[in-house]
Amino acid sequence: MPASLGVLLIVIGIPVAGGALLGWFTHAGKHVLGLVLGGVTLFLLLMVLLVVIGVVHVMTKDFVVPQMALEDISALEGWRRLWPHLAAEAAGYAGYIGMKIVLAIGAAIVFGIISVIAFLVLLIPIGGVGVLAVLGGRAAGWDWNAYTIAVAVVCGCVALAMLIFAMALISVPVVVFFPAYAIYFFAPRYPALAALLGPQPAAAEARPEAPA
């Protein structure tokens, strides 16, 4: 992450510093074309750079980290071992990245809709109870004071915790699916992980031959 931020700062800082030294910002009216073309080029470069950083992050998390965990090696060593596999099976890994993007978009849409529905379903009874509590308090002659404000804050925190718990519970399938997808894709290509997922049965002990 620090390295990625450093690269982004360099990519943004050098063009901005160059434009400032050339006086493009102090006399912007005289350099409209240069500012527009430079801004578009910088934007496209940033998009490409963000995509590259995202792909490197995903590949590191899905394929390098398992090697680090199972063999106690560094990230650089994990990438050194992974690189020949990427070169030999570029289409397969590219398909994995593409499928993961498609699945992530689909999951975001589906679970976004489900989360909104669940939020509304929970919000209606919680809001109804809150309105009834306020009306009941007013009918009982209660006024806002330190005690009632503290009770309202506690009830609000409980309601917020319930909403957060519901959203977290809904996201469990996504949280479980994507690591499993990465593991089962990489396992056939990484014997140590495959052995951990499906250990080979121990050799059957030789049975003594029955007497004739």
At residue 201, φ and ψ (nearest 5 deg) are -65, 140
Q: What's the distance, CA 106 to chain centroid?
A: 14
Tens of pLDDT, residue by residue over 118-170, are: 888 877 877 777 777 777 777 776 777 777 778 778 888 888 888 888 888 88
Asked whether the whole model's pTM tops 0.85, one would answer no
DSSP state of 205: P
**CA-closest candidate to residue 8, choices 64, 73, 57, 52:** 52
For the chain, percent of residues with pLDDT exceeding 90: 12
Q: What secondary structure does DSSP assign to 64-96, as a single string? A: IHHHHHHH---HHHHHHHHHHHHHHTHHHHHHH
Residues 60, 129 within the same domain: no
Based on the domain organization, do 62 and 116 belong to the same domain?
no
Q: Categorize the per-residue pLDDT at 206 as very low, low, confident or very high, splitting at 50, 70 and 90.
A: very low
Answer yes or no: do 94 and 170 share one domain. Answer: yes
> What is the domain range of residue 68?
2-88
Q: How many domains does the chain have?
A: 2
